[in-house]
Structure formats: C-alpha cells, structure tokens
Structure 1
C-alpha cells in the first residue's frame, strides 16, 4: 500500500512523465485552500528532490498569491490508466516571473506556450504514495489547445494587461507579485 519516501525514485519519475494531469494544493496561513488542476506538457523532475512546472494564465492566480504568504505546496498525481497509484509531493516552492533569471533558466525545458505566467520550483521534502484502488479508470482523449491558442491570439501586451486586470489579487485579497 502507501509508502513515505524522502525522494522521487526513478519509477516514480517515469510515472510522473506518463501523467496528463496533476493537481497543486496551496494555502496562505488564513483564507481559502486552493487546489488547481494542471495539464499540458508542463511538469519536469529536475532531481530526486527538485521539480519545476509552468503556471499558465488562468482566471485567477491563487497559487502565486499563496506562495508569497506561505510557500508550502503539495502536488498530487493520480493514475487514471494502468496500475492504480496516487503520488503526492510535499515541499517548499518558489515562484519565478518572466524577468527572473531562474525563469529564463527553466523556460527552455518546456514546449513553447504563449500562456506561461510563471514557473514554480519546488524542493521536495516528502514523497508519499497511496493505493488509488478507488480512483476510476478514465481514458485520455487529447490535450486542450484552447489556452495556448487564446494567449497566442492575444499577444504579449494583451496578456500582460489581462494579468494586471485578472491575476494581481487572489480571491482572499492577497497580492500575487
């Protein structure tokens, strides 16, 4: 059944690379807890205790706001195909914006996506697996291209305007930068 590990094993790294979706959980010390689904080719295991992922433009920016207040993060992967498995990565995260050197260092690890808002780097301090026996089977159909198509159509300046209008403050009133 479940195990607690202090690092991402090679088998777990392979599992992560096969997944089409992951979920990110964050919370400030007060206010709402946020759980956000993430998709596309936006996650990389850099080392056994370090991961990065793309935070794409969305209707809100709770993750960024929470990381400023409290940089704890949990990431969960769930097997919807093949063998059952739930994988959680716990750790401390940093957020990097376009102007940050680390953003520039990491951006080329991913396919081009016009909707990239930030890159999140997390130092993993606990890896936990659990059975996933009750998680249903679901078939992957295809990636959605809607966000990237919309962001490409907007162009850099309109995306920046959107971020200022829609992504500067969390639902609890916390700033995102």
Structure 2
C-alpha cells in the first residue's frame, strides 16, 4: 500500500471516501458504518481542507484509506480514519493506522497517540484495543445541533478517548 500526504487537490476524493465509510446505505457494505447512529454528513470539503492545512492527512495511492493527524500539546491526535467499505478486511486499516503511528512518532517525536470514538461503537473500540489502545474512561459529549458532524438518530451519543504510547 503506497501511503502519501494528501494535498488540497485530494479534498473531494477524501470527502467521498469518508462519507462512504460511515454514512448512508453504501457504508453498510463494511463494518465501520455509523448509519444506525447518524444520518447526514461525516465531513465536508471545508473540514477536510482545514485538516490538510492544520496537520497531516495520509491517503493511500488509490484513495481507499485515509486518516488525519494533528499535533497537539504533548501528543498526536488521530482522526478522520476511513477505509472504503468495499475494501475493508484487506489490512488497509491496520496498515494506515501503523503508518500514522510511525509518522507521529518519527516525524513529530510524539510519544502518544489519542483519538475519540463514539462510545456506542464497541466493535470499533475493541478493534483499537486489539492494536494496543487503552480506554481512558474520559467521555466528551457529541456535538448535538452541529449538523457538520451528522444528524443523530439517538440522544445518548458521546465520545470516549483512547490512547496509546508510541514506542
């Protein structure tokens, strides 16, 4: 898998990829769907452009997987992780996550990676735990009322922070 740093010219492809992995009927082809939890968009072009400008977005050569990294105070934040739902189960997610950890550690000197995951996504949390991430118990509210993050289908959504020390 050829992974590179995304450029502004990749924005629309990235929006399509992230949307297809998490929202709508197309997302149901994979296991990362949030279609039962949220309707609407997951990201928009402006959000992706800002991610590229304010951090690093990694994308594989055929735009089947991506993630976002941000430098934060004392750690790297991992987000906007998506794998084309028709290509999940091919090690693309594992490979992208490993490259994100390598990049944060080797290029930025980050000693820790953090992310937030919707608490109702136990299957996804378990996937991260199997890759060395620890649940912190730190929970933050879902941004209800901000449709840039989707239209909730339930009223109990929240995020849990996961963390991993980087070699």
TM-score, normalized by the shorter chain, greater than 0.5 = no
Query: If the length of structure 1 is used for normalisation, what is the TM-score?
Result: 0.31
> Larger RCO: Structure 1 or Structure 2 (Cα < 8 Å, ≥ 6 residues apart)?
1
Q: Normalized per residue, which structure has more helix? A: 2
Query: If the length of structure 2 is used for normalisation, what is the TM-score?
Result: 0.32
Q: Which one has the largest radius of gyration?
A: 1
